[in-house]
Amino acid sequence: MDLGLKGKKALVCASSRGLGKGCADALAEAGCTVTLNGRDAAVLAELAGALSEKHGVDVNFVAADVSSPEGQQALLDACPSPDILVNNNGGPPRRDYSELDRPAILDGVVQNMVTPIELTKAVLPGMTERGFGRIVNITSMSVRMPIEGLDLSSGARAGLTAFMAGVCRQVAPHGVTINNILPGKFDTDRLKAGFERTASLSGQSLETVRTDAAKEIPAGRFGTPEEFGQTCAFLCSAHAGYITGQNILLDGGLYPAAF
């Protein structure tokens, strides 16, 4: 399907690996010029070259901490008027709520709530003026369903979700949509780190933890960054202009509810 995105400019935060990379790949496939981000310049340079060659589009990158004001400015300098913004970042480390002190709590809120709000604020005036814009926030299934050790991540992302629920309606008349994708369990480094923690706390092997986790998912497997990216690209597409303020759960059926 032609997503109607040829020549659009996409700024994809935290996209050197995992889900962000899946989004960058799918948007480049759809014909977007893509700006990648992460903190490792060597990894980014290799990925930019690979995506550019694979899809025949321009891909540049910014090696910077997306949570810092300087990092955000560098991203906006590299991609001054994005048509598409994918808000993504690392998540807070898994930790029991009782171990979180004030600096750790603030870090988590800055990472997963303040940063996407700041970037959204920066790009919305241009998007509304041009009459087209797509913002996709990568949040988490944990906004809907508590996950042990991730209360900070869940809280910050739920705050972001509520914030965006108002903003998306304000910009809807201008052809701009804002949606959230809620990953369940996707096969990335982040998921692996969680399994390693569970294995070391429980004394089980990594393979046992992994197999048991996959069995809990009705689909019987983890999601792939590629299928995540394709969903993101569709939400950014010309066809998705009437979808806004939605929370798209991608979880292979893991969240057990009718609604």
Ligand X SMILES: NC(=O)c1ccc[n+]([C@@H]2O[C@H](COP(=O)([O-])OP(=O)(O)OC[C@H]3O[C@@H](n4cnc5c(N)ncnc54)[C@H](OP(=O)(O)O)[C@@H]3O)[C@@H](O)[C@H]2O)c1
Name the site residues for ligand X (rule: CB under 6 A). 14-20, 37-40, 43, 65-67, 88-91, 138, 140-141, 153, 183, 185-186, 188-191
| 43 versus 117: smaller Cβ distance to ligand X | 43
Distance (Å, whole) CA 259 – CA 257? 6
Residue 15 has a CB neighbour count (10 Å cut-off) of: 29
Q: Shortest approach of ligand X to residue 131 CB, angstroms? A: 30
Residue 73 near residue 21, CB atoms below 8 Å:
no
Rounded to whole angstroms, what are the CA distances from 248 to 13, 47, 98, 182? 19, 27, 30, 6
| 37 versus 198: smaller Cβ distance to ligand X | 37
- Is the Cα dihedral 241, 124, 178, 184 positive or negative? positive
Residue 13 near residue 76, CB atoms below 8 Å:
no
| 91 versus 155: smaller Cβ distance to ligand X | 91
Closest CA to 150 of 195, 93, 110, 100: 93
| 208 versus 224: smaller Cβ distance to ligand X | 224
Strands (E), 70-218: 84-87, 133-138, 176-183
Distance (Å, whole) CA 19 – CA 82? 19
Residue 24 has a CB neighbour count (10 Å cut-off) of: 33
Helix (H, G, I), strand (E, B) or coil at 37: strand
Distance (Å, whole) CA 148 – CA 227? 26
Distance (Å, whole) CA 105 – CA 111? 10
